[in-house]
Amino acid sequence: MKVLVIGAGNMGLTYATGMSKSKLLKKRNIMVLDKSKEKMEEVGKIAHFDAMERLEDCVPKADIIFLAVKPYHAEDLFKRMKHLVNPEQLFISIMAGVTIKFIQEALGIQKVVRAMPNLPAQVGKGLTSYVSAEEVSRLELFMVEGLLDTTGKSLRVKSEKYIDASTGISGSGPAYVFYFMQSMMEAALQMGFSENVSKVLVSQTFTGAVELFNQNNLTPDSWMERVASKGGTTRAALDSMQDNNVNELIKEAAFAAFNRAVELGEEY
Ligand SMILES: NC(=O)c1ccc[n+]([C@@H]2O[C@H](COP(=O)([O-])OP(=O)(O)OC[C@H]3O[C@@H](n4cnc5c(N)ncnc54)[C@H](OP(=O)(O)O)[C@@H]3O)[C@@H](O)[C@H]2O)c1
């Protein structure tokens, strides 16, 4: 099986690297192409995969093609590659907001998987939600899942609506966590800690809390009850968040991302 990744940006290289480190594919069976010659020269130096320069040289050879360019580059790319594709090939798009129907029509093919990764994929801790066109077989889906799992976990969803919804939770979610971390680091600095110490205090708190959450079956609410005693310090903080409606504001933010994903999907 030969895989081609088009777009050697953050995400494209993350998947190419994840696949090259896995045992699923031989390294010589992973091709990467980007329109920037300089980028491909760089990729050729560091990479564990074949750096390609011309669509003509790699598209016809590929069994699976990852589409990892920005959504606004999709139309131009599709025009250039339409005459090179065939109906047996499987396309995995990670382009935010670009629908399966749009890809099928633009390329004249049927087998499309639409996936939504997130940034922690870069460290093998990503979450990729995905949905497929009905023309994709069970066996092909099994392969797709294997490839997506090389950057973390994958989650198959029922429809494209859930791709937009997962954009609001896991896709954009890492930024919400960074927002919270930033606020806590600013508070630590204001309390007199150095920048380095603030960073350690905050990052170890996040890592530890997530680890606790993952290793037990308790809900976040139950954990909060365990940490907060009546009249204590944690209760003071949680009461302050409750009084300021932080819970509702976070939900509102997630829905803002979800709604924006739906809006972007209407363009493609
Ligand atoms: N980053 C994330 O966290 C994230 C999360 C979810 C989904 N995504 C999706 O992942 C996709 C890639 O994002 P990214 O952050 O990796 O983007 P990126 O860093 O901009 O990488 C895309 C690469 O594709 C190249 N490219 C553009 N048109 C091309 C063409 N016709 N042929 C070959 N290469 C072409 C770009 O070159 P130029 O720079 O010269 O244009 C760039 O090097 C996007 O569609 C995005 O919606 C990203």
Domain ranges for the chain: 3-156, 166-266
Percent of the chain beyond pLDDT 90? 87
The pLDDT tens digits for 175-212 are 999 999 999 999 999 999 999 999 999 999 999 999 99
47 CA distance to ligand 1 middle (Å): 18
- The pLDDT of residue 48: 77
CB atoms within 10 A of CB 253: 15
Residue 166 near residue 129 (C-beta atoms within 8 A): yes
Check the annotation: does 216 bind a ligand.
Answer: no
Q: For the domain 3-156, what is the CATH code? A: 3.40.50.720
64 CA distance to ligand 1 middle (Å): 18
Check the annotation: does 7 bind a ligand.
Answer: yes
* Average pLDDT, integer, range 213-232: 94
- The pLDDT of residue 92: 98
Check the annotation: does 120 bind a ligand.
Answer: no
Max mean pLDDT among 1-15, 17-31, 39-53 falls in 1-15
* Average pLDDT, integer, range 156-161: 95
Which ligand 1 atom is at minimum distance from the Cα of 96?
47
| Cα–Cα distance, 157 to 154 (Å, whole number) | 10
CA distance readout (Å), 188 to 182, 199, 202: 10, 9, 8
Hey, whose CA ends up nearest to atom 20 of ligand 1?
Answer: 9
How high does pLDDT run on average in the chain?
94
Segment among 28-37, 159-168, 237-246 with least mean pLDDT = 28-37
CATH 1.10.10.10 for domain 166-266? no
- The pLDDT of residue 121: 96
Check the annotation: does 39 bind a ligand.
Answer: no
List, chain by chain if needed, residues with CB within 6 Å of any ligand 1 atom: 6-12, 33-36, 39, 68-71, 73, 76-77, 94-96, 116-119, 171
Q: For the chain, first and last CA: distance in Å? A: 30
Which ligand 1 atom is at minimum distance from the Cα of 117?
6
HSE of 159, CA atoms in CB hemisphere, 13 A: 2
* Average pLDDT, integer, range 130-153: 96
